[in-house]
Structure 1
């Protein structure tokens, strides 16, 4: 299974380094690890040679890509790994939640998870109901159970 772990935002300097915006809460960009991109319907594996952090990005150097002309074409592409991180209890991959049916505490279907949105206060489940999109805070007060479906505590005004 593929896991998207970041996006190439831009080049950095002339020696082939790339500015990467990471999408992962896990430490996925480590020297010696192999990640990949999809470029023109071809999977290109990249060995991480070095990584350093800036305020908003990681500056990553890949083995064999030592010139800006070799990496410029990759700007805007997503970076993936096949390596699944170890999840602790009550941790989930976004892609595992998207598409799950959502029911309320009375076993009435509410809708389906359309997206997970990060906000400074945490995460929100974007749920597509029959008539609209609605947001539910992804916290224990509202999300009561996650298995093959998600059970939420529906309070007045939530949906």
Structure 2
């Protein structure tokens, strides 16, 4: 599909025998699932398929989705590990110092002293804060997304400035 998509969940497994899917939400706005009429599921190899949503339920922090055309356990099993995505124009505005991971990936990272650190290639959550995986010239670095470390994020120019605290990156590693 020739549109920008944002991932809001990942299908973990089936639930029951009627094709219901257990989804790990990858959004701070869990209620967004109630507002959706359809989603785009993306397979691990990159194929997109649009599905209409029949119902949404919540259970212990997970989303239980029923989709039109997915009514048996066998139909649901083939969707395990697929991503749940929506068009970028449906995303919500975020508050200050909050960013969509998709806006951060590909961003160039510099130290506050002006040195090139590398490029953000992935982002993951630890529970307490997000972590940026930054590919440098020699190796990858794990940069915590904390106010102590991240000093500026310029989404428009795809640039981040960080303060390198002791032990974060060795002097000879950039």
Work out whether the TM-score is over 0.5. yes
Residue 103 (structure 1) aligned to one of 99, 110, 125 = 110
1:37-75 per-residue CA deviation (whole Å, 9 max, x = no partner) reads 146876432222222222253211123433323333222
User: Which residue does the alignment assign to 1:77?
Assistant: 82
Secondary structure, aligned partner of 1:30: helix
Which residue does 1:58 correspond to in 2? 63
In structure 1, C-alpha distance between the alignment counterparts of 2:86 and 2:112, rounded to whole Å: 37
> Please, which runs of 5 or more residues in structure 1 have no aligned partner?
none
TM-score by length of 2: 0.80
Structure 1 equivalent of residue 172 of structure 2: none
TM-fit CA distance, 1:157: 2.1
> In 1, distance between residues paired with 2:35 and 2:111?
45
Matched length: 159
Cα distance in 1, alignment partners of residues 46 and 129 from structure 2: 35
Could you tell me the TM-score, scaled by structure 1's length? 0.87
RMSD across aligned C-alpha pairs, in angstroms? 2.1
Residues 104 and 5 of structure 1: CA distance in aligned 2, closer, same or farther (over 3 Å): same
Specify which of 151, 154, 159 is matched with residue 161 of structure 2: 151
Task: Return 5+ residue gaps in structure 2 as ranges.
Answer: 170-174
Q: C-alpha distance in 2, partners of 1:88/1:63?
A: 34
